[in-house]
Copies of this chain bind each other. A is one copy, B any other.
Amino acid sequence: MARRRTTLKDVAEEVGVHTSTVSRALNPETRHFIRPEVAERILAVSERLNYRPNAAAYSLRTNKTRIIGVVIPDIANPVFPPIIRGIEDVLSERGYLAILVNSEPHNARHGAVLDALQSRGVDGLIMASLELGDSIIRGMIDDGLPAVTVNRRAEDADVPSVTNDEDQGMRLILEHLKALGHTRVANLAGPQSISTGKERFEAFRRHARAMGFDTSEDLVVFSQRLNEAEGERCAAELLDALSGFTAIVASNDRLAVGAISLLRRRGIACPAEMSVTGFNDMPMVDRFEPPLTTVRVQQYEVGRLAASMLMKRLDGGELEPSEEHIVVPVELVVRASTARVR
């Protein structure tokens, strides 16, 4: 019944030594200062009394919490769970814990959430939620808080990042569509306030031009958010505004899924009459109707890398310039939402 937790002092008294001796014996780094037989007794007793170090006291003294803040827009977005799992796996291997916070809706929570994390004294930050031009994160980094971004990147080149090869992904998609005979494809682009949205859009434009696609300005529509409803809305906008295009390249899977729903509602067959591509290869999109052609990004791996990167920085290692920004390769996975143009 809520009996007091056992402390260093309890162990020390039981063994008949000073607390500092116990502390040293329990820490592998300093254990060699202590005579082996004493250390052994201490280990045994602390085991028997079920001693657990008090993390608050440790933190107060050392200024380390062994806690990492993980900030994502919305855990309910299927893109993020694998990333988080990757992060959590490497953190826990290293004895760190993750505090998870959702930052959406952005304006309301972003600042407050980061405040709370900072106040808790997290040792570092992994940000999956970050808009271009965000200044709060800058402030925290200036305060000396190690941070890395994952999936997205910041404007400042000096905040380390792990991202996917957006450029390559877009190239693969366009090559694929070209091989299928498409020449006029629309781009359902993501918000330009987010690095992925911007990079994918720019990659689309660059490669489309290079490959000789029709590059009229009006073949692109920008979404405000990254969900299915917005995908529907934007697809409708495209269809209403123009015709003659045979494929829609969406900035991510959720937009693509929304677009496909709209096509179905309008009686336009996908892929027979209109090809649609996604980006991310979220879990389960292979089971959709039609199974989605998309770009597979290594979510889990990206999460692991970001966490490893942060760990390295916390170990005091400066990152090599080549390690500051890791971009992870992607691959095209062709399923059934794309087809040869008629």
Binding site for B on A (CB under 8 A): 1-3, 52-57, 59-60, 65, 67, 74-78, 80-82, 84-85, 88-89, 92, 95, 97-102, 109, 113, 115-121, 142-144, 257, 261, 283-284, 287-290, 300
B288 adjacent to A3 (CB under 8 Å)? no
30 A/B residue pairs, CB under 8 Å, sorted by A: A1-B144, A3-B144, A52-B118, A55-B119, A56-B57, A56-B60, A56-B65, A56-B121, A59-B59, A60-B60, A74-B85, A75-B75, A76-B82, A76-B85, A76-B283, A76-B300, A77-B81, A78-B81, A78-B284, A80-B81, A84-B100, A85-B102, A89-B102, A92-B109, A98-B101, A99-B99, A100-B100, A284-B288, A287-B289, A289-B290
Which one of B54, B84, B92, B115 contacts A52 once the chains associate, using CB atoms below 8 Å?
A: B115
- 4 extra A-B contacts, CB within 8 A, seeds A75-B81, A78-B283, A92-B113: A75-B75, A76-B82, A78-B284, A284-B288
User: Nearest Cβ in chain B — how far from A87, in angstroms?
Assistant: 10
State the number of copies, please. 2
Bound: A84/B261 CA distance, A: 28
Residues of B within 8 A of A109 (CB): 92
